[in-house]
Amino acid sequence: MIKAFIFDMDGVIIDSEPLQLQSFNHVLQAYVKPVIMVEFLKKYMGHQDINICAKMVEELNLPITKEEFISAKRAAYLEILKNDIQPIKGAVEAIREIQKMMPVAVASSSTKLEIEIITKKFGIDDLFSVLISSFEVAQGKPAPDIYLKASELLGVPPQECGAIEDTPLGIVSAKGAGMMYCFGITTTHTADELVKADKVISNFAELVPAIKLLS
């Protein structure tokens, strides 16, 4: 039985991948050609910013440190978040419905500040019992640390928690933590790429009925 539910944020609550890529390219454009979305999805998405920046510095032979890169990238992303950003269709409504049934949390690879800005902009920050960033645990996704910490803060064992992720790495993180059930949503990856999820859905209209069957 699912007694608590944990949401990834990027690619689940907000279609942030184009915004994230825009912020990386804001820095990259001074040194190399911008990274295209296909390459970003394949090589970088799902990792912590610091790991992406380190990988880009090495692979693209950038004349800056990973610390300089991440500082400039985060500043650019915060500027982007000041714009009229929108949630993924159905996400807010699903969160509201699920929160009526059980405690909900966000477990994201984004920074705590970014999580807070986005959830406040969408008017859902007060719905979550826990907001946790992977920067608050020893290892980011695909390690299970963030889901284990979210479960601990919720006061619900992993075996009684559900989760939703949009990337293969996120699913590995949730399942590695022993989450009872992990949904994959095809907002950024295909169903075939999310095969390690317990169930793959294409939109949020499918989520609430599925959770009701498990709770």
- CATH code of the domain covering residue 53: 1.10.150
How many percent of the chain have pLDDT more than 70?
100
Task: Please tell me whether residues 49 and 94 are part of one structural domain.
Answer: no
Task: Please tell me whether residues 71 and 110 are part of one structural domain.
Answer: no
Please give the mean pLDDT across all residues of the chain.
95
For 137, the token pair is: 């645990």
- pLDDT at site 47: 80
| pLDDT tens digits for range 1-46 | 999 999 999 999 999 889 999 999 999 999 999 999 999 988 887 7
Q: Are 30 and 49 in contact (CB under 8 A)?
A: no
| pTM, rounded to two decimals | 0.90
CA distances to 34, 106, 121, 123, 157 from 95, rounded to whole Å, are: 35, 10, 14, 11, 20
35: domain range?
A: 17-80
Q: Are 156 and 148 in contact (CB under 8 A)?
A: no
End position of a domain, from candidates 80, 115, 132: 80
31 by Cβ neighbours in 10 Å (0-12 / 13-18 / 19+) ranks as: middle
Task: Please tell me whether residues 61 and 126 are part of one structural domain.
Answer: no
Q: What is the mean pLDDT of the segment spanning 184-189?
A: 95
Which residue from 167, 172, 173 is spatially nearest to 42, judged by alpha carbons? 167
Domain count within the chain: 2
Question: For residues 126 and 122, what is the distance between their CA atoms, to the nearest angstrom?
Answer: 10
Task: Please tell me whether residues 55 and 158 are part of one structural domain.
Answer: no
Q: What is the mean pLDDT of the segment spanning 131-141?
A: 95
Task: Please tell me whether residues 184 and 110 are part of one structural domain.
Answer: yes
Task: Please tell me whether residues 201 and 128 are part of one structural domain.
Answer: yes
Does the pLDDT value for residue 131 go beyond 90? yes
Task: Please tell me whether residues 108 and 156 are part of one structural domain.
Answer: yes
* CATH number of the CATH domain containing 133: 3.40.50.1000
- pLDDT at site 43: 86
Rounded to the nearest 10°, the torsion over CA 133, 176, 179, 19 is: 40
| pLDDT tens digits for range 80-127 | 999 889 999 999 999 999 999 999 999 999 999 999 999 999 999 999
Task: Please tell me whether residues 56 and 99 are part of one structural domain.
Answer: no
Question: For residues 29 and 35, what is the distance between their CA atoms, to the nearest angstrom?
Answer: 9
- pLDDT at site 17: 86
